[in-house]
Amino acid sequence: MRDEALITGLLAKREELTRENAELRERMAILSNDIEAIDRVLDACGFKGELEGKTPRAARIVLFYRNELRDYLLAELRKSPDPLTARQLACLVCQTEGKDSSDRRLITDVTRRVGSALRKMRASRMIEGQRTQAGQVWRVTAGQRLHHADA
C-alpha cells in the first residue's frame, strides 16, 4: 500500500516536471527566435559591433539519412486512404522517431524538411499535390501505387 502511494506521488511529480520542462523549452525557443530576429535587424542596419551572448545556431537534428525520409513519406502516403498535409506527415515522423510532437519548434523544423522532400518528390513525379481548404495535401501518383503493389 505504501509503495503504491509512493509510486503515484512520483508519477504525479514526474508529470508536473515534464510539463514544466516543456513550457521552459518552448519559452527558450521563443526567446532564442526573438534574439535571432533582433540580430538580423541589427545586421541589416549595419551594426558591426560585438554582440554579447550571441550563440551559434543549434546543430541540425538528424532524423533521417539519405533517402530514408523519402522512403518513409512514400510508405505513409501509400498507407493513408486520404491525402496528407506536410504537417500531418511531420507529426508522424516525430511519433515514429519518439520525439515530442507538442514541441512547436521541432514540428516546424520537421515540417519544413518534409515539405522540401515532398516538393522534390513531386518534381520526380512520385507524388502529386493539391491545394484544398485544409492547405496543400499530398498523395502518391497512380503509377507509384501500382509500382508498390507489384513489389
- CATH number, residue 79: 1.10.10.10
pLDDT tens across 14-59, in order? 999 988 888 888 788 777 778 878 888 888 898 888 877 765 555 5
- Examine the domain organization and report whether 26 and 45 are in the same domain: yes
Closest by CA position to 64, among listed 79, 52, 74:
74
Closest by CA position to 63, among listed 21, 29, 88, 98:
98
User: Could you tell me the residue range of the domain that residue 41 belongs to?
Assistant: 1-58
Q: Which of 39, 58, 77 is the last residue of a domain?
A: 58
- Examine the domain organization and report whether 104 and 141 are in the same domain: yes
- Examine the domain organization and report whether 40 and 110 are in the same domain: no
The verdict on residue 113 lying in a domain is yes
pLDDT tens across 93-111, in order? 888 887 877 788 888 888 9
Closest by CA position to 71, among listed 120, 108, 112, 111:
120
pLDDT tens across 131-140, in order? 988 789 999 8
- Examine the domain organization and report whether 51 and 98 are in the same domain: no
- Please tell me the distance from the alpha carbon of residue 18 to that of residue 143, in angstroms, as a whole number: 45
Instruction: Please indicate, yes or no, whether the overall pTM of this predicted structure exceeds 0.75.
Output: no
